[in-house]
A and B are shown apart, each in its own frame.
Chain A
């Protein structure tokens, strides 16, 4: 019995990180109708950023985490101007391919530099122990930080000028332009924000698990699933979707062989896509 409760809690903790990883993807998708296929590479960039900064300055990973957000933002803006800006308004295939090609370039550079060697960021944080089961401090901290970032994101989008500009552009680009909002700059900023979230997620993941240059792929796939569960363009939904995914993993593992978990995940994925295309958690963040 305790095993099931423990797995549920573990699922929620890890799931919140899946949610954070997906927030950036769903934001970009919702704002500019672009699926950012560099998402996985940005997550890996966040992982490496944390690793290198910790190595260079010898401080705790959590101290350098905000820096990874900044790195992600600038990387995102750069990617936007290079690969995405011209694709706005064109058929969806174009932006898929342009972001995919940037992803190939980034991963290619990464493997030439670091091969597929394993990296680990050591973080010692006391965990929470209940009976035989311990919840690692890093997981608790990551979940807490994810919640914090989600709240900050909400306030940013709802109450700041730039946030409102982003929401205006995502709602109706022509109207936004008509009222004088510099749409291209706003789109760049939104992309940068999405990238920052991806990098930040990578940084948190690096505190919890060892990683390689190729680690982004699995998280990108999970981000797709979470985005669909949570509803496109809905960061809050992404967080809940992530938790839901984590819950599925936590709930199924005690009962069935672990190798069947992915099959179940994808069946749920397709089911939600077909039956609930707006997502399971779509509290209207933006009307469309």
Chain B
């Protein structure tokens, strides 16, 4: 699809509008709490959209997708705090190095199918976590700290938080555009053919090993960049946070919630999920039971509405198919 045709898709403008809201709303109100909430939402959306490339399009369940986020965080924090790189350069370096690494891992594990692939992604995540816990230059299990004057390159901590927020929103927009672009491209068609029936796709001429490897590697890039920004903001990274398998599963849940294989689905799912969890945590009535409620909600969705929010929308408002993807 040529760039010009891209601009004529209504969904492109939906993405642009959404990005504008994300940036304008907290900036206009100066509401820091809102910004913090939206940062988490943006992170979930980034991870969910990129996971969707493997999960929704190609049908490969990546249980350990968080490993890209965590490794990106480590590369970024290391370059910023120990090598004194600029945060943006560090984030780019993180993205490139982690997707290269993903390509390498992918070559090994992408010949597996179904549950085996899912398990291998867990193995990759846990193996990387165990390794980083022992890796002294990255602080081992103690993690890496960023001293407060590392924020000077972005104008001091308070200004830096806003800048990082805008950068993360930018990464979020890129994730959605990437997802959309791939979906409408020949590459995306090939991926979705793989998702439907990998062997038939292979027979019909889709270069399945190459496409899978590309998808896996591409799905690592933006999460790694996001990880670099996110952990820079947190000023502290340790293995147990960076490679939190539970977080990875939460991202799968958000994609499910929103609707796999769609572009808007992961974004909607991530946003809803993050808001719900945030609300449950701070609500005095529910905070004890928030895990139970989240679990029950997920179960209900899986049983009764497996198409997620987008599935529901498309079924009841068919016209939306022309606008949303």
Query: In their complex, do chains A and B touch, with some C-beta pair under 8 Å?
Result: yes
| A262–B130 CB distance below 8 A | yes
Q: Is the interface of B mostly helix, strand, loop or mixed?
A: helix
Given pairs A97-B252, A232-B115, A270-B123, 19 additional interface contacts (CB within 8 A): A82-B299, A93-B252, A94-B302, A96-B61, A96-B118, A97-B253, A100-B298, A101-B299, A104-B294, A105-B292, A108-B294, A112-B292, A259-B133, A259-B141, A262-B126, A263-B131, A266-B123, A266-B124, A269-B123
Distance between Cα atoms of A35 and B277 in the complex (Å): 26
Choose from B55, B108, B303 the contact partner of A274 (Cβ within 8 Å).
Answer: B108
| B303–A98 CB distance below 8 A | yes
| A107–B291 CB distance below 8 A | yes
Instruction: Give the A interface residue count (CB, 8 A).
Output: 44
| B302–A270 CB distance below 8 A | no
- Which residues of B in the span 200-223 have a Cβ within 8 Å of any Cβ on A? none
- Which residues of A in the span 80-133 have a Cβ within 8 Å of any Cβ on B? 82-83, 86-87, 90-94, 96-98, 100-105, 107-109, 111-112
> Contacts A92-B115, A224-B119, A274-B108 hold; do A266 and B126 have CB atoms under 8 A apart?
yes
Residues of chain B within 8 A of A257, CB atoms compared? 134
Contact surface of B with A, Cβ cutoff 8 Å: 55, 59, 61, 108-109, 111-112, 114-116, 118-120, 122-124, 126-127, 130-131, 133-134, 141, 249, 252-253, 256, 260, 288-299, 302-303, 306
| B298–A101 CB distance below 8 A | yes
Distance between Cα atoms of A90 and B256 in the complex (Å): 14
| B127–A263 CB distance below 8 A | yes
Residues of chain A within 8 A of B291, CB atoms compared? 104-105, 107-108, 111
| A270–B108 CB distance below 8 A | yes
Residue A144, interface by CB 8 Å: no
Least CB separation from A93: chain B residue: B61
Residues of chain B within 8 A of A262, CB atoms compared? 126-127, 130
Residues of chain B within 8 A of A265, CB atoms compared? 130
Least CB separation from A275: chain B residue: B108
| B120–A273 CB distance below 8 A | yes
Residues of chain A within 8 A of B126, CB atoms compared? 221, 262, 266
| A112–B130 CB distance below 8 A | no
Choose from A94, A102, A273, A274 the contact partner of B306 (Cβ within 8 Å).
Answer: A94
Distance between Cα atoms of A4 and B252 in the complex (Å): 43
Residues of chain A within 8 A of B298, CB atoms compared? 97, 100-101, 104
Choose from A91, A101, A273 the contact partner of B123 (Cβ within 8 Å).
Answer: A273
| B256–A93 CB distance below 8 A | yes
Residues of chain A within 8 A of B119, CB atoms compared? 224, 228, 273
| Pairs A–B under 8 Å by Cβ, sample size 11 | A83-B299, A92-B118, A104-B294, A111-B291, A221-B122, A259-B141, A260-B130, A262-B130, A266-B130, A269-B123, A274-B108
Choose from B122, B130, B133, B303 the contact partner of A224 (Cβ within 8 Å).
Answer: B122
Residues of chain A within 8 A of B294, CB atoms compared? 104, 108
Nearest CB of chain A from residue B44's CB, rounded to whole Å: 17
> Contacts A97-B298, A101-B299, A109-B292 hold; do A92 and B116 have CB atoms under 8 A apart?
no
- Which residues of A in the span 162-178 have a Cβ within 8 Å of any Cβ on B? none
Least CB separation from B300: chain A residue: A101
Nearest CB of chain A from residue B268's CB, rounded to whole Å: 17
> Contacts A273-B109, A274-B109 hold; do A104 and B292 have CB atoms under 8 A apart?
yes
| A98–B302 CB distance below 8 A | yes
Residues of chain B within 8 A of A93, CB atoms compared? 55, 61, 252, 256, 260
Residues of chain B within 8 A of A97, CB atoms compared? 252-253, 256, 298, 302
| A112–B61 CB distance below 8 A | no
Distance between Cα atoms of A274 and B249 in the complex (Å): 23
